[in-house]
């Protein structure tokens, strides 16, 4: 709004205040605010709540972990003895650090991350049932030795691979949304145990999925 426009609006309000009742004047001022806001592109809208954007290479905190998603890859062979692929593997390499004073066990570690936007993903570690990636539980392997991460000790950092399998007949994905969930350490409502409960997605972002380099 220019200085001249601002002065005209003030004179209009002053003139109205002299001729209208207080209630009428307030109504006019409210209408004026809406009118003026249109000159600046409208009133600011409240930001909707939802997950914070996840960006590859940037650390986020999702209780109890600090999580850094490094990259996503697809491949057809893990090179592990006794491993029989059911299709292609979709992997997300990440660094996680347990920042709490309590251990985190396998099921909670697996639930830390989910893929969104893919179909034909095997729901479990074994079996033939497929479905949307949101419903599929990943395996979590330690990069150093390909062993499964059964527990994350307090204060320790791990470089891991969250691993899904997708049916071969599905098209090779170019990207997917990676969602990271936080948990709350609290007492169970069924007994006196304290455990990690209430997984809630706190961060999500689209990550490119590239083909893994073949070992020579």
Q: Look-up: residue for tokens 């592990």?
A: 80
The pLDDT confidence band at residue 140, using thresholds 50, 70 and 90, is: very high
Q: Which of 165, 176, 83, 179 lies closest to 123, judged by CA?
A: 165
Q: What residues does each domain of the chain span?
A: 3-39, 52-211
Listed in order, strand segments (DSSP E) in 113-174 are 113-116, 121-122, 130-131, 139-142, 151-152, 157-167
Tell me, which fold does domain 52-211 have in CATH? Immunoglobulin-like (2.60.40)
HSE-CB for 115 with a 13 A CA cutoff:
33
Q: Is the pTM of this model over 0.85?
A: no
Q: Which of 196, 189, 166, 201 lies closest to 106, judged by CA?
A: 196
pLDDT digits (tens, 9 = 90+) for 86-123: 999 999 999 999 999 999 999 999 999 999 999 999 99
Q: Look-up: residue for tokens 């791990």?
A: 158
How far is the first Cα of the chain from the last one, in angstroms, to the nearest whole number?
66
Q: Which of 81, 87, 52, 82 lies closest to 67, judged by CA?
A: 52
């Amino acid at each position: 709004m220019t200085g001249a426009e601002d002065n005209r609006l003030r004179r209009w309000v002053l003139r109205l205040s002299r001729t209208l009742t207080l209630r009428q004047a307030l109504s006019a001022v409210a209408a004026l605010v809406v009118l003026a806001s249109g000159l600046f592109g409208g009133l600011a809208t409240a930001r909707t709540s939802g997950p914070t954007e996840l960006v590859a290479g940037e650390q986020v905190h999702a209780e109890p972990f600090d999580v850094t998603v490094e990259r996503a890859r697809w491949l057809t062979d893990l090179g592990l003895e006794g491993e029989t692929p059911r299709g292609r593997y979709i992997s997300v390499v990440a660094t996680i650090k347990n920042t709490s004073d309590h251990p985190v066990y396998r099921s909670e570690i697996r639930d830390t991350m989910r893929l969104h936007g893919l179909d034909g993903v095997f729901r479990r570690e074994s079996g033939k049932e497929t479905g949307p990636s949101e419903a599929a539980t990943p395996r979590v392997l330690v990069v150093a030795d390909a062993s499964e991460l059964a527990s994350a000790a307090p204060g320790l950092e791990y470089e891991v691979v969250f691993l899904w399998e997708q049916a071969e007949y599905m098209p090779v994905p170019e990207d997917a949304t990676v969602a990271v969930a936080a948990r709350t350490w609290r007492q169970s409502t069924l007994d006196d145990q304290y455990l990690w409960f209430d997984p809630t997605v706190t961060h999500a972002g689209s990550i490119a999925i590239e083909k893994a380099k073949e070992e020579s």
